[in-house]
């Protein structure tokens, strides 16, 4: 019966190994049965082979691994498996670390862009927002108007319909947003409570140039 001690696995005489050639499924199976403590006779009976055939497999395994005997050969295989597992784990950890770092950079870049957008809006006294396909506001930079304007709370989560207090598709503001969802950029002078304002709406595209929403800029008309 094969017995492998911790000394054999950690002995300084055993150099780090990498298999010369990969083992076949049958060879891997024979090694696994050997690790479980089975003799060649037991392995042969388990697999329905002759002992001579099992010995032939061991000869092939030794040639691939470079071991001097059955115990040494199996020790080398176990070491190789352990080293491979460590390499794969390190790759997975590094990949995860890279993903986290990339996402962190993305968050930082987004926050920086929003901070610059707010600063720019504060300087030119405009209000800018970005919507999704349902015209719900996801980003808002408010340089001129307070959070409540014309009796409406202007904030992320509101829709364009809420902001302009209408669902009329012919309303200039609503129409401009709906046109943007079709890929049409527009500029329009608003009416009613917003009659002293000028609205520009631009289609918002993703990396595949598919429309994902709108970007809107609202300015006061110079008197």
- Between 123 and 221, the more confident residue is 221
**92 shares its domain with 139:** no
The helix or strand, by DSSP H or E, that contains position 148, with its residue range, turns out to be strand 148-149
Q: Which domain holds residue 74?
A: 6-96
Domain membership of residue 111 (yes or no) is no
**131 shares its domain with 64:** no
**86 shares its domain with 142:** no
Percent of the chain with pLDDT over 90: 14
Question: Sorting pLDDT into bands at 50, 70 and 90, what band is 91?
Answer: low
If one counts the domains in the chain, the total is 2
Q: What's the predicted TM-score (pTM) here?
A: 0.46
What pLDDT does 183 receive? 92
For 51, 104, 105, 106, the CA distances from 101, given in Å and listed in that order, are 55, 5, 6, 9
The enclosing domain of 213 has a CATH number of 3.30.450.20
Domain membership of residue 107 (yes or no) is no
**76 shares its domain with 19:** yes
Instruction: Choose one of 79, 96, 113: the last residue of a domain.
Output: 96
Domain membership of residue 120 (yes or no) is no
Domain membership of residue 91 (yes or no) is yes
Q: How far apart are CA 199 and CA 172, in angstroms?
A: 9
Compute the average pLDDT of residues 188-210: 82
pLDDT at 206 over 50: yes
């Amino acid at each position: 019966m094969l017995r492998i001690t911790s000394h054999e696995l950690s002995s300084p005489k055993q150099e780090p190994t990498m298999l010369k050639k990969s083992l076949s499924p049958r060879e891997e199976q024979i090694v696994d049965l050997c690790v479980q403590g089975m003799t060649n006779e037991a392995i042969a009976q388990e697999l329905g082979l002759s002992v001579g055939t099992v010995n032939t497999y061991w000869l092939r395994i030794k040639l691939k691994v470079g071991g001097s005997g059955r115990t040494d050969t199996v020790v080398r295989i176990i070491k190789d498996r352990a080293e491979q597992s460590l390499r794969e784990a390190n790759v997975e950890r590094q990949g995860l670390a890279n993903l986290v770092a990339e996402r962190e950079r993305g968050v930082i870049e987004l926050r920086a862009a929003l901070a610059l957008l707010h600063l720019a809006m504060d300087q030119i006294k405009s209000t800018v927002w970005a919507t999704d396909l349902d015209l719900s506001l996801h980003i808002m930079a408010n340089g001129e108007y307070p959070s409540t304007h014309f009796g409406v709370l202007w904030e992320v989560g509101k829709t364009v319909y809420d902001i302009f207090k209408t669902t009329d598709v012919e309303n200039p503001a609503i129409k401009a947003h709906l046109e943007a969802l079709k890929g049409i950029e527009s500029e329009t002078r608003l009416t009613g409570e917003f009659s002293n304002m000028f609205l520009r709406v631009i289609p918002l595209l993703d990396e595949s140039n598919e429309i994902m929403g709108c970007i809107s800029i609202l300015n006061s008309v110079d008197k």
